[in-house]
Each structure stands twice: as structure tokens, then as C-alpha cells.
Amino acid sequence: MKTIVIVGGSKGIGKAIVGNMVDSQKVINLSRSAPEYTHANLTHYNVDILSDDLPEITAMDALVYCPGSINLKPFARLSLEDFREDYEINVIGAVKAMQKYLDVLKKADRPSILLFSTVASKLGMPYHASIAAAKSGVEGLVKSLGAELAPNIRINAIAPTVTDTQLASKLLRNDKMIENIKERHPLKNFLNPKEVAEMAEFLLSEKASSISGQIFEMDYGIVTFKI
Ligand SMILES: NC(=O)c1ccc[n+]([C@@H]2O[C@H](COP(=O)([O-])OP(=O)(O)OC[C@H]3O[C@@H](n4cnc5c(N)ncnc54)[C@H](OP(=O)(O)O)[C@@H]3O)[C@@H](O)[C@H]2O)c1
């Protein structure tokens, strides 16, 4: 049985990843609140990634970092503090987790890391300056560390479009907003956490042995097509 360490497995996409993997893998979750359910294969540590010391974990095969932000404002209203906060939770938190566990990961057989970007890194959209800047930092990490950690550790990112989680709840407040979001996507839908979790599971598995340093758009066409 492999051991997956996930930062942010209590909610959203992370929760779906835990749900997909916990029957067959050992899952260690780090988040500020506990997952809603318990399972013999699930261990939880109450951790704020930005302020707490991370627990010692002696063996792991994969590391997943889920915390992120959606802080959409006109550029003039984005404070420097907004930019710093987005960078902290999206980039520095991931760096902290990776630096803490890199030596342990290196000891595993074919280990891998998975981070999260967003479609807004590739697709220019108004009001996304801060999150686009932070997630471009995540994508830079994936490229640079992909090279630096090869051939031992693979690292990839998923760049989702709108996904039905608590983080995106302001964008999906009512039926009209939901219809608008669907309509903006060439494939006329947006993501549910489960379908992102399926991609995560694939990228962490040995089926993805040939893949490192890649950013996977899960975009219902919004980055890829102009129809
Ligand atoms: N949802 C979308 O539409 C969307 C779109 C594009 C990209 N993404 C990206 O996809 C990733 C996952 O998004 P999501 O929608 O699943 O987010 P989410 O629903 O907010 O879940 C985030 C997870 O991270 C944990 N977390 C947040 N801050 C933390 C901290 N300081 N320390 C420890 N754990 C922390 C949360 O748990 P606790 O609150 O218990 O700590 C939760 O388990 C993010 O990187 C996001 O930027 C999401």
C-alpha cells in the first residue's frame, strides 16, 4: 500500500482525492479542519500550512498540495497585501511542504508531487491579476523542479477551470450564475471535484511514469477553443 500525503484533503478537490484513494492507499491529511469522515487508512493532522510546523512523516510515495485562493478584484483594488497573501498560500505553502518532505519522498519507489494551478494562468481574464501571478509561480515551480528532481521525483500540476467547491461558491451562487459559467465554456459545463480527483489519481500513479513538469488544463475548452 502506498502512502499519499495531502495538504488540504478536508474539503473540495482534496477531499475528492482522499475519497478516491483512501480505500486502497494510506492517506495522511494536513489541514486546519478535520475531514468529515474517518477511515482506517486515513490519518489527519491539524495544520495551518502557513504558520505551523509540519509533522514528521517517515515514509511517503506522493505529496499533493491543494490550498489555493480565488480573490477576484479590479487591479486598482488589489492591495499589495492581496498579492502577498495569494503568493503565500499558493506558492510558499507548497514550497514549505515540498522542502519539508523532499528527503522522505526521495526514498520512495517512483515518488511524485502534484500541485494546482488554474486556467487563469494561461487565459487572460479581467480581475485575475493576483491569482494569475501566484499560479504562474506554481507553474514555474513545476517546470523548474521537474528538471531538478528528475529522474527521481515526478512533479505535475492540474490547472482546473471553475470547480464546484466551497472555494468557488461565490461564482456559483445561483442558477443564473451557474448557467452563465456553463455557457462561457465551449464544452458547456464546469468541473466537479470528482473528475479532478480522477486526473490527480492518474498523475500520481505509475501509469503516468512518463509525465513530469507538465501542467494539465482541465478546462471544458475555455483555454483551448475559440468557438
Ligand atoms: N474551485 C475552483 O473553481 C478552482 C479553480 C481553479 C483552480 N483551483 C485550485 O484548485 C485547488 C483546490 O481548490 P478547491 O476548490 O478544492 O479549494 P477548497 O475547497 O478551498 O479546499 C482547499 C483545501 O485546502 C485546505 N487549506 C486551505 N488553507 C489551508 C491552510 N492555510 N493550511 C492547511 N490547509 C489549508 C482546506 O482545508 P481547511 O479549510 O480545513 O484548512 C481545504 O481542505 C486550489 O489550489 C485552487 O486554487 C480551484
* Residue with CA nearest ligand 1 atom 47: 68
Rounded Cα–Cα distance for residues 25 and 124 (Å): 38
Name the residue at shortest CA distance from atom 28 of ligand 1. Answer: 67
- Of ligand 1's listed atoms, the one at least distance from the Cα of 32 is 41
Cβ(13)–Cβ(33) below 8 Å: no
Using one digit for the tens of pLDDT, what is the confidence trace for 159-217? 999 999 999 999 999 999 999 999 999 999 999 999 999 999 999 999 999 999 999 99
Query: Which protein residues are within 6 Å of ligand 1, measured from CB?
Result: 7-14, 31-33, 47-50, 66-68, 116, 118, 160, 162-163, 165-168
pLDDT of residue 86: 98
Q: Whose alpha carbon is nearest atom 7 of ligand 1?
A: 118
All 3 cell numbers of residue 174? 445561483
Residues constituting the chain = 227
Compute the distance from residue 21 Cα to the ligand 1 centre, in Å. Answer: 18
Read off the pLDDT of residues 86-120 as tens digits, 9 standing for 90 and up.
Answer: 999 999 999 999 999 999 999 999 999 999 999 99
- Å from CA of 227 to ligand 1 middle: 31
What structural domains and CATH numbers belong to the chain?
Answer: 3-218 (3.40.50.720)
What's the pLDDT score for residue 167? 97
CA 21 → CA 5, 24, 26, 159, distances in Å? 11, 6, 8, 20
CA distances (Å), 142 to each of 17, 19, 20, 21, 113, in order? 20, 25, 24, 23, 9
Q: What is the pTM of this model?
A: 0.98
Structure confidence at residue 40 as a pLDDT band (50, 70, 90): very high
Q: Which atom of ligand 1 sits closest to the CA of residue 29?
A: 43
Residue 182, all three cell numbers = 456553463
DSSP 201: H
